[in-house]
Structure 1
Amino acid sequence: MHHQIIMKGVIYFLPVLWVSVNCARILGIFRVPFLSHQVVYQPIWKELSLKGHQITIVTTHPLNEPELTNLTEIDVSEAVSAALKTTSIPEIMSKDVPLHSKIHKLFQTHYKIAEAVLSHPRFIEIYNTTNVSYDLVLAEGTTSPILYAVAAKFKVPLVGINSFGAWTGLLSAMGTPHSTSLYSETWSTFRHPMTFSERLRNTLHYIWTRYYLNFEALPKCDQIARKYLGNDLPYIQDIQKNMSLLLQMTNPILYEPRPNVPTVISMEQMHIKPVKPLPKDIKQFLDKAKTGAVYFSLGSNVKSVDIPKKLRKMLIEAFAELPYKILWKFEDDYLPGRPKNVFIRKWMPQQDVLAHPNVRVFVTQCGLQSVEEAISRRVPMVGIPFIADQSRNVIRLSEEGAAIALDHRTVTKEEFKNAIIEVINNPKYRKNVRRLAEIWVDHPLPSLNRTIWWIEYVIRHKGTRHLRSPTVDVSWFKYLLIDVILVLLFCISLILFVLYKTLRFILTRIDIEKKLKQI
C-alpha cells in the first residue's frame, strides 16, 4: 500500500518536474512602433507562451489575448509615440536620403525610443527588481543595441531579432564575413553583381560605418544604457558581440546567399495566417470584379492619405480609366474625386484580400511583410517603393519576373496603367510568383517551429558560446592579415634588397676586372 502511494506520487510529480525544468522565464523587448515590424514578433511570443514559458513582453503592440495566462504585456506605445512626436520615419528612410545620413538619423531616433522605453515606470520595476530572475532576453535588433544591455544586467543569454535582413553593423558584431564586393547595406539599391563604382562606394560606406559605430554611435548607446541600468555593465559593443543568437527575416529571393555563422538564423513568413472570410462589403465588391480586381496599399508606414497631391491625382485618373475594380487602402473616410470603380477603406485584412481569386495584381510599396503576403497568396505585384528596403525588394522581384518596378517621383499615368495591364494579362508574372512561393517556404521545419527550437536551444545550453564565431574575437588588423602581409612584404623587400646588392656587387667586380685588364 505504501509502495503504491509512493508510485502514485512519483507519477503525479514527474509532469510537474518536467514543466518546471522545461519552462523558462523570458523577457522580450520590442520597441519599434510599427505594426509591420511587430506582426513578425507577435507569433513568437504567443507560441512561447502557449508552450508554457513565462513571458514578459515590452511592446508597442500588445496582443491583449486573455487566454494567454502566462503572458504579461507592457504597452509602451504612448511613451514611444511621445518621444517620436517630431520625428518622421518615412522622411528619414526615404530613398532620396543618402545612406550614411539614414544610419545617422536612425541612431538618433533609436536613442529617443530607448530612453522612452527605459524610463517607462513598469519597465523600471522589471529591470530594477531583485526578486525576479530571467533565463533569456529576447530583444529587437534593428540598428541600436542599447536595450541589449538589459540581458547583461540580468546576466542571461541574449537573442536578437530583426523583422528584415540585419544591417552590416549587427552582422559584423555576430562575426558574419562581409565582402564589400558582394554584399551591400540592407537599405542600399546596389544590384548584384555591383559595378566598379558601386563597389567603390560600398567599400567607402563600410569604412565610414565602422568609424561611425566605434567613435560616435556605440559610445552614445553605452552612455544611455549606463544612465538607466547602472555602470556595472560590460561595454555595449561587448554585449552585442556576446549575443547568443540573431534571428532575421531573410529569404533566398530578396537577399543574396551569404556565409552566415551558425548563430545567425533565417526566418520567413512568420506572420502569414490561414485565410479567413472577408468582411461582407469587401467580399461583395471583389465578387463582382469579373474582369479582375486591383488591390492598392502602401502599408502601415507610408500612408496613401499623405502622398503628394500630384501622385494621388495621377492614381485617381489612372484607376478611373482601368477596366477593373480597385480596392484601395486609404486612411480617410473621404477620397476627393473617387472613381466609381474604386472602393476605399482605412484598414484592410490584407492577407485575406490577396487570397480572393479575383485579385489579379497588388500595387504595393514592397515592404518585406507585404511582399511575403503577396507571394504566399500567389499575387504578382506592381511595386512603388518609398522608404527603407522597399527599393531593394522591388528590384529583386522585377529581376525574378514577379513584379514591375515604378518610381513614384517620375511615373506617368500611362506608365502606371500599362504596368497594371501588363501584370494582369501576362501569365509569366503569376507563374513566377508561384515559383517563388514554392522556394520561399521549402524548409525541413515551418519557420515558427524552427525559430522556437533555436530560442529554446539557447535556454537549454545557457547560451551558444560553443557556436561563437572566432571572427568576433579577432581584431580587424589580424582578420585582414595586415601583420602577416607586412611581414611578407618585409621579407620580399629584404630578398629583393639582397639580390640588388648582390647583383650590384657582381657588376661592380666585373667592371673593375675589365678596367684592370685594360691597364
Structure 2
Amino acid sequence: MTVFLIYEYFILCTLAESAQILGVFHSPSYSHQTVFQSIYVELSLRGHNVTVGTSHPLNNPRLVNLTEIDINRQTCAIIEEDQTISNLAKELGMYEKMVKFYAVAYKVAESIWSDSRFVQIYNDSGSRFDLVIVQDTMLPLLHPVAFKLKTPLVGVSSNGGWARSHYAIGNPNPLSLYSELYLPYGRRMTLPEKMANALYDIWNRYYLNFEALPKCDQIARKYLGNDIPYIQDIEKNMSLLLLTTNPILYEPRPNVPTVISMEQMHIKPVKPLPKDLKQFLDNAKEGVVYFSLGSNVKSINIPEKLRKVLIEAFAELPYKVLWKFEADDLPGKPENVLIGKWIPQQDVLAHPNVKVFVTQCGLQSVEEAVARGVPMVGMPFIADQTRNIQRLSEEGAAVGLEHTTLTKEEFKNAIFEVVNNPKYKQNVKRLGEIWVDHPLPSLNRTIWWIEYVIRHKGTKHLRSPTADVSWFEYLLIDVILVLLTIVSLALFILYVAIKFILRMIFGGRKLKQN
C-alpha cells in the first residue's frame, strides 16, 4: 500500500514537471521574502523553470532553474522615502495607516510595471507561462499580469489574509468573529471592539471600491492596455490563496477549498554557528537573552529614551545579552552585551543557553522562536505585532510590554518572569507541537497545491459560489425584501378588507337608524 501511494505521488508530480512559473514578490522586507524563497526554491528544485521578481535575490548558482530579477533598489527606495515603517506604527489610527500604505503601494506597483525587465515579460507575445504566483498584500497590485499572460493566478501572503482577499475568494468573514489583520482585537471581541471592527469594515469597503481598487485598475491599464477585466474581477479568479497562518495567532475559520494555510515555511535545519558567536553562547552558562527587532524595525532607529532603558536594564541582568544592532558601535554598551549587525537568528535560538527572546513579535520571528522552543518577551511596534503578542500572552508563551512607556524595572521583571517561570518554556513547546502536527509538512503541502493548479490549469471546479454573489444576495437582503413586501401587502389587504367590512356593518346600521 505504501509503495502504491509513493508511486501515485510520483506520477502526480511528473504531470506538473518542468512548468514555466513567474513569481512577483514585491515586499522589500527580508523576513517576508524568506517565506517566498522557500516556495520558489523548492519549485525550482523539483524541475520547474521559475522566474521571480524579488527584493532579496539568493544568487545561488546551484539553482539552475531559477532566474531572479532584483527589484530591491526601486522598492526599498520608495519604502525609505515614504517612511513606510513609521507609518505602520501601532500608535497611528487604522484609517490613517491604510491610506498612507495604499499611497506607497501605488508607487511600488508603478515601479515594477515600468521595469524594463518586466515589460519584456508581459509584452513579449512569445512568453509562455503555466502559472503566475503573486504576493497578496493590502491591494491586488500585480494580479493582472496573470490575465495578460493567460495563466492561472496564485496569491501568497507571508502573514494572514486581508479582509479584501477573503471577500474576493468567497471566504466567510463575519465581523463578529474576525477582524482586519492589523487590528489588535482578541479571539472574543468586546462590544466596543465589534463596533469598531464593523465601522472600519464599512469604511474599508467604501475606500477600496471607490478609491483604492479603481486606482490600481488605472495603473494596470496604463501598462497592460484597456482589454483587461476590472482588477477586482481578476482577483476573484485566483486559483489559490496561500496564507501563512496557524491555529494560535489566527482564529480558526471555515475556509473555502482554495484557501490553503501554511506555517513555519522558512524554518530551516539548524546550522553550525560562526566560531566567535558559538564561543559567546557556549560560555554563557548563566543563560543568554537574545534581543532583536527584526528586519523592519531596526534597533538603531528606536528612540534614545528606549535605548537608554534597554542598556541600563541589560547592564543589571545576570545573563549575557546578544543584541542585533545595525551599527558598529553601541554607545554605553555594557560588558555583558555582544552586538551584531546580522545574526543567524534561527541557529542562535536553537542554542540551549538562550533562555528568552526579546522580540518585536513579527510573524516570522514568532515562528522561529516557537520552532526552537524559546519563550518570548514581546515589544510590538508596527503592523500585526500587537495582535501577535496578545495571542502569545493568552497562551502563556510570552510576556508583552509597551515600549512607549517602558521602564527599566518593568523590562527586567518581564525577563526574570519568562526565564524563571517554567510555564513559558512548556507552553512554547506545546505550541510548537501543535503547529507541526500535520499529515504532510507545510512546504510539501503548499507545493502539492501549486502543482495541482498547474496540472488542472486552474481550480474553477473548487471555486466557491460566494465569490460570485454580491453582499446584497449573500445576506439574503433580496429575499428579506421580497418577504417583507409580501407580508406588507398581505397586511395592507387585510387592513383594507377589515376597514371595508366595518364600514359595511356600522355604515349600514347608521343608515337604518336614520
TM-score band (shorter)?
A: over 0.9
The 3-state SS of whatever aligns with 2:81 is: coil
Instruction: Note if 1:124 corresponds to 2:96.
Output: no
CA contact (8 A) 1:94 1:388 kept: yes
Corresponding residue to 1:451 among 446, 450, 466: 446
Question: 1:152: which partner in 2?
Answer: 147
Question: 1:172: which partner in 2?
Answer: 167
Which amino acid is 1:196 matched to? Answer: L
Which amino acid is 1:103 matched to? Answer: M
Structure 2: how far apart are the matches of 1:456 and 1:229?
27
Corresponding residue to 1:193 among 181, 188, 192: 188
The 3-state SS of whatever aligns with 1:146 is: coil
Structure 2: how far apart are the matches of 1:343 and 1:194?
42
Instruction: Note if 1:422 corresponds to 2:422.
Output: no
Structure 2: how far apart are the matches of 1:263 and 1:465?
10
Identity of aligned residues (%): 66
Structure 2: how far apart are the matches of 1:478 and 1:105?
33
Normalising by structure 1, we get a TM-score of 0.94
Question: 1:376: which partner in 2?
Answer: 371
1:512 Cα offset (Å):
5.9
Change (3 A) 1:330 1:37: same
Corresponding residue to 2:297 among 302, 313, 323: 302
Structure 1: how far apart are the matches of 2:86 and 2:76?
16
Structure 2: how far apart are the matches of 1:84 and 1:282?
32
Corresponding residue to 2:97 among 99, 102, 107: 102
1:502 Cα offset (Å):
4.5
CA contact (8 A) 1:83 1:116 kept: no
Structure 2: how far apart are the matches of 1:517 and 1:320?
108
Question: 1:247: which partner in 2?
Answer: 242
More divergent stretch after superposition (223-232 vs 184-193): 223-232
Question: 2:345: which partner in 1?
Answer: 350
Instruction: Note if 1:209 corresponds to 2:207.
Output: no
Structure 1: how far apart are the matches of 2:340 and 2:148?
46
Instruction: Note if 1:84 corresponds to 2:79.
Output: yes
For residues 337-366 of structure 1, give each alpha carbon's deviation from its aligned partner in whole angstroms, at most 9, with x where no partner exists: 111111111111001111110111100000
Question: 2:177: which partner in 1?
Answer: 182
Structure 1: how far apart are the matches of 2:214 and 2:409?
51
Structure 2: how far apart are the matches of 1:276 and 1:81?
29
Question: 1:11: which partner in 2?
Answer: none
Change (3 A) 1:486 1:144: same
The 3-state SS of whatever aligns with 2:357 is: strand
1:132 Cα offset (Å):
2.4
1:505 Cα offset (Å):
5.1
Structure 1: how far apart are the matches of 2:85 and 2:351?
30
CA contact (8 A) 2:134 2:156 kept: yes
CA contact (8 A) 2:52 2:67 kept: yes
Question: 1:385: which partner in 2?
Answer: 380
Structure 2: how far apart are the matches of 1:96 and 1:444?
41
1:446 Cα offset (Å):
0.4
For residues 450-508 of structure 1, give each alpha carbon's deviation from its aligned partner in whole angstroms, at most 9, with x where no partner exists: 01000000000000000111111111211111111111112222333344444555656
Structure 2: how far apart are the matches of 1:124 and 1:516?
91
1:102 Cα offset (Å):
1.8
Question: 1:42: which partner in 2?
Answer: 37
The 3-state SS of whatever aligns with 1:362 is: strand
Structure 2: how far apart are the matches of 1:384 and 1:462?
44
Question: 1:54: which partner in 2?
Answer: 49
CA contact (8 A) 2:16 2:454 kept: no
Which amino acid is 2:235 matched to? Answer: Q
Structure 2: how far apart are the matches of 1:515 and 1:122?
94
CA contact (8 A) 1:84 1:112 kept: no
Structure 1: how far apart are the matches of 2:510 and 2:108?
86
The 3-state SS of whatever aligns with 1:22 is: coil
For residues 217-267 of structure 1, give each alpha carbon's deviation from its aligned partner in whole angstroms, at most 9, with x where no partner exists: 111101111111222211111110111111010000000011111111000
The 3-state SS of whatever aligns with 2:143 is: helix
CA contact (8 A) 1:79 1:120 kept: no
Question: 1:12: which partner in 2?
Answer: none
Instruction: Note if 1:284 corresponds to 2:273.
Output: no
Question: 1:468: which partner in 2?
Answer: 463
More divergent stretch after superposition (280-289 vs 305-314): 280-289
Which amino acid is 1:366 matched to? Answer: C
Aligned counterparts, 1:254-273, within 5 A = 254-273=249-268
Extract unaligned runs of 5+ from structure 2: 1-9
For residues 37-68 of structure 1, give each alpha carbon's deviation from its aligned partner in whole angstroms, at most 9, with x where no partner exists: 10001011111111111111111111111011
1:201 Cα offset (Å):
1.3
Which amino acid is 1:110 matched to? Answer: A
Instruction: Note if 1:398 corresponds to 2:388.
Output: no
Question: 1:6: which partner in 2?
Answer: none
Equivalenced residues, count: 503
The 3-state SS of whatever aligns with 1:360 is: strand
The 3-state SS of whatever aligns with 2:358 is: strand
Structure 1: how far apart are the matches of 2:356 and 2:512?
96
CA contact (8 A) 1:380 1:429 kept: yes
Structure 1: how far apart are the matches of 2:487 and 2:408?
65
CA contact (8 A) 1:127 1:150 kept: yes
Question: 1:135: which partner in 2?
Answer: 130
CA contact (8 A) 2:35 2:266 kept: yes
The 3-state SS of whatever aligns with 1:290 is: coil
The 3-state SS of whatever aligns with 1:144 is: coil
Extract unaligned runs of 5+ from structure 1: 1-14
Corresponding residue to 1:236 among 231, 236, 248: 231
1:272 Cα offset (Å):
0.3
Corresponding residue to 1:218 among 209, 213, 216: 213
CA contact (8 A) 2:281 2:288 kept: yes
Corresponding residue to 2:327 among 310, 314, 332: 332
Instruction: Note if 1:65 corresponds to 2:60.
Output: yes
Aligned counterparts, 1:498-509, within 5 A = 498-504=493-499
1:79 Cα offset (Å):
2.0
CA contact (8 A) 2:16 2:451 kept: no
Structure 1: how far apart are the matches of 2:63 and 2:407?
50
Normalising by structure 2, we get a TM-score of 0.94
CA contact (8 A) 2:17 2:46 kept: no
